[in-house]
Structure 1
Amino acid sequence: MNLPVLIIAFNRPDLFSKLLAKVLSMNPTRIYISIDGPRENKDNERMRVEEVISIAKQYSHSNQFLFKINEKNMGCGEGVSSAISWFFQNEEKGIILEDDCYPNESFFKYCEVLLTKYENDDRIGMISGDNFFLSQYSIQDSYYFSTYFHIWGWASWRRAWDGYQLRSSSKVEIEETINNNFLNQEERNFWLDNITNAFFGLVDTWDYQWVYLNFRKRRYSIMPKVNLISNIGFGELATHTKEKNSKLSSMDIVELNFPLLHPQKIKTSILTDYFSRRLMFRLPFWERIFYYLFRLFYLMITKVGLIKR
């Protein structure tokens, strides 16, 4: 595979070891490993972090590996964003995987093809490995364009990451950007609250800031027709995904067929974006009814063979 990969790890040696083995099997050009330091108030965390470091250091002799190991805990916000910035300081494009995201093998080729195809297209911000249709909808093309950005296994370019900020105090700019991108007031409120909280450090995260940068640049993400990434890290040791019984936990991953069937136009669809929107906030009653009826109609005409799934 002619691409570099960044692995972002912390305190889960079992997940890190499994992901590293998968990445090694794909033989990327370089493997960047960023490991955050332990938190002082967490029992046994230093021991688990040191085990992750020990696994990584088995490859310290290889020129294929580069390491960023934090002595102190930087947290989800600074820890992850500084790792991605480090990666893109050294690489023009590549794949980013956190240690709880386990990819299907076809994810790597999918990223390789699309990173090349859209490398100079400023309309595209990133390539995601996530699909949240949950078997309720399917498309004929190999991937689709979306207004939304899911980061459980993704790829991007230095040109897209350029301009990323972890902190910002410009509430006026944030509000203007969100109002220009979304019409629904409930959705506006969702993004305003979460993005503002992230920028002001009220929530320790990096991803809302990345989403905001793409909103501000009016960019799309690319998502596959089938799910290529399984988040296997739900549970007590997770920072955010603690609900073990979540329907998003350890989702099935499916092989994507090649050659890819590319969409004819770069545009989004309200039908595919629906599945992202419903993950993030409660949709208005009329919208839930509309999509419920649409899915019933879609399944009916699929069953009688009027369209192919």
Structure 2
Amino acid sequence: MTPWTLQTPVILLIFNRPDTTERVFEAIRQAQPTQLLIIADGPRPDHPQDAHQCAAAREIINHVDWDCDLLKHYSQENLGCRRRVSSGLTWAFQQVEEAIILEDDCLPHPSFFRFCQELLEKYRDEPRIMSISGNNFQFGQRRTPYSYYFSRYNHIWGWATWRRAWQQYDLSMKAWPKLRSSDWLQNKLQHPQVAQYWSRIFDMAYQGFDTWDYAWLFACWYHEGLIALPEVNLVSNIGFNDQATHTKTKSRLADIPVQAAEFPLSHPETLQQNLEADAFTEKYIFSGADMATKETTSSIQLEQELQKIYQALNLLNQRQVIQSHQIQHSLAKLQESIGRLEARQVDYFYDAQHKNTIQDYEFQVFSQWGEDGIIQYLVKNLNITNKKFVEFGVENYKESNTRFLLLHGNWSGLVMDGSAERISQIYADPICWQHDLKALHAFVTRENINHLLSSQNVTGNIGLLSIDVDGNDYWIWNSINVVDPDIVVIEYNSRFGSEKAVTVPYNPEFMRTKAHHSNIYFGASLKALWLLGQEKGYALVGSNRAGNNAFFVKETLRPSWMKSLTVEEGYVASKFRESRDSQGKLAYLSWEQEQEILQQLPLVDVETDHLPDSDYSHQILKTDASEKTVF
């Protein structure tokens, strides 16, 4: 059998995100397309860092090391998302008849390319099929016995189309004003609430909102097109963060795991829209129409509107249209409001979808990743009687695992950080006088942790303990005996793998950034923490999708339906890169390169208590006395 090869051209859209660009480029490099077209926007004049970031993203493209026809369409000025993507794709389809399209934050499964190539060939001359997407937002529900189904929604986080379809695209949406005054949307969507929702969306796009994709959806609908969507998710959006253009807030659509498409593909017998799947998409992704309760419907609609306002205020803040402190206050309130709406969905989505992993409930309000959602899920399903938390390693507490508990759940708590300046910033935050929060300046060690807690009258049972000190996490949790938390959230270092029970040697002065320049030598493996949790009476119930935080629940509180996981079941390998070179610059090391570094550094095997023969453990962090803050 002839091995499959990728003959379809690939289009990659990039801007100013070299970190995600590198990951997506690597996926393309593994597929080795014979033709690669790069579309790049230019730096924004009011963002000084853009020039460097855009150049770094473009430099990655110079690493093409396979036989490939490489075409570049780089803009020297910033055109914005709306004009750059639309003009770039128009240029691309002047060069090629069909193509697979990825943006710099859309990470595909290897089978995505073959899936697109086969369907591009199959439906090349079928005008009713406008595009092929790699996205599945059905959250585990299969809609058909086939490999894909047909939808009216053209999800564009990894997709493919033909020149014949893109020629129908009209960024200006000239046909919209006449259609808007007719019954076109109502007749098409058969629901007044849905029609009203999309009328507002198309109005916004027609008036020039800085996005290109709504005009593409409008073109597909206007020309009665269908989109082929896979029965499993083939592309994950890894770009939900502050650096994104639109996807700045965490979402249940962020970092959805990918699965392999199975070949040979099983094709639907007819070209017919899957009404059940599209009704689900409309409910959970867009307008919220036909939800089970009015409360849930209004919550999702309001969440979407608040997210639009959040994005608008953030844009004003960037442009300094309004005084910064006013914007920051408004953004914080909106951020909290969106989080409250997300929290109200936790019970509903469990009852409706019977989720069985904590990752299904991830959402981000103040946490770094999806920990806010996981914590809400655990709190709602455990009989927690003392709504008190302890968290250390919080910096200025703007990003933390417990801030949302404080604001949304009326919890009280103690936070600690080794920086006096950061503690001062916490006390300057209104959260300190508006809520029952104590902030303590302390460099936490295993010798002082119990004294620190006792000195603040924090003893006995508490609801949650969050440990993130980037170093002695295992040793500190092992030493804690004055508090008895119901939930423990603790960082693990996934680079140590799932098989070894290891941690960095204990050093009371350990600081990750000084222990080794690579920035990857810190903390403990998940297995080491799992064994410690077993000793202390805790069950591992999962890790976040980012692969850096583990969640433990006291066995006496764990419901029978909440599974106690093995290390292998709970382990998630972190994909985000944070390695540094000896000059402190991002090194973008591969997993294999990181392992080579870690193999040279001392680790303690907590199962055997074996410390490798090395003088290095005595050299970790030679901190000047003036830099120490130890209580």
Question: What's the TM-score, normalizing by structure 1?
Answer: 0.89
3-state secondary structure, aligned to 1:144: strand
Give the Å deviation of 1:285. 4.2
State the match for 1:212 in structure 2. 218
In the TM superposition, residue 42 of structure 1 has moved relative to its aligned partner by 1.6
Aligned to 2:274: 269
Is the Cα–Cα contact under 8 Å of residues 106 and 157 in structure 2 kept in the other structure? Answer: yes
Alignment of 1:207-286 (within 5 A): 207-244=213-250, 246-278=251-283, 279-285=285-291
Give unmatched runs, 5+ long, in structure 2: 1-5, 297-348, 355-631
Task: Please tell me whether the aligned partners of residues 178 and 215 of structure 1 are also in contact (alpha carbons under 8 angstroms).
Answer: no
Report the CA distance shift for 1:238/1:107 in structure 2 as closer, same or farther (over 3 A). Answer: same
Q: Corresponding residue for 2:185?
A: 178
Name the SS for the 1:230 alignment partner. Answer: strand
Matched letter for residue 45 of structure 2: E
CA positional deviation for 1:60: 10
- The Cα shift of 1:186 comes to 1.1
Partner Cα distance (1:97, 1:118) in 2: 20
Gapped runs of 5+ residues in structure 1?
A: 298-309
Match of 2:162 among 154, 157, 165: 157
What is the Cα deviation at residue 14 of structure 1?
Answer: 1.2
Please state if 1:105 is matched with 2:110. yes
1:191 correspondence with 2:198: yes
1:33 partner SS: strand
The answer to whether the 8 A contact 2:236-2:257 is kept is: yes
SS, match of residue 167 in structure 1 = coil
**Contact preservation (8 Å) 2:173, 2:215:** no
- By how many angstroms is 1:37 displaced? 0.4
Q: 1:138 to 1:49 in 2, by over 3 A?
A: same
Identity %: 35
Paired position in structure 2 for 1:139 = 144
Which residue of structure 1 aligns with residue 58 of structure 2? 53
Q: 1:33 aligns with which of 29, 33, 38?
A: 38
Contact 2:14 2:104 in 1 (8 A): yes
Residues 164 and 213, structure 1, Cα contact 8 Å, conserved in 2: yes
**CA positional deviation for 1:73:** 0.6
- 1:304 corresponding residue in structure 2: none
- What CA distance in whole angstroms lies between the structure 2 residues aligned with 1:194 and 1:205? 11
Q: 1: distance between equivalents of 2:353 and 2:91?
A: 47
Structure of larger gyration radius? 2
Q: Deviations over 1:73-123 (max 9, x none)?
A: 111100111111111111111101011000001110000110000000011
Residue 78 of structure 1: aligned partner: 83
Q: Secondary structure at the match of 1:72?
A: coil
Query: Is 1:66 aligned to residue 75 of structure 2?
Result: no
Match of 1:300 in 2: none
Q: Is the 8 A contact 1:175 1:192 kept in 2?
A: no
Supply the distance in 2 between the matched residues of 1:212 and 1:96 (Cα, whole angstroms): 19
Letter in 2 for 1:70: S
Contact 1:168 1:200 in 2 (8 A): no
The one-letter code of the counterpart of 1:6 is: I
Query: Residue 287 of structure 1: CA displacement?
Result: 8.5
| Cα separation, 1, equivalents of 2:8 and 2:108 | 15
Contact residue 6 and residue 95 of structure 1 kept, 8 A: yes
Q: Is the 8 A contact 2:130 2:225 kept in 1?
A: yes
Structure 1's consecutive aligned runs of 4 or more residues displaced over 2 angstroms after TM superposition are 57-63, 136-139, 173-180, 284-289
**1:158-194 C-alpha deviation (Å, 9 max, x unpaired):** 0001131111354113454423411211111111111
Contact 2:36 2:68 in 1 (8 A): no
In the TM superposition, residue 57 of structure 1 has moved relative to its aligned partner by 3.2
Q: Give 1:214's aligned amino acid.
A: C
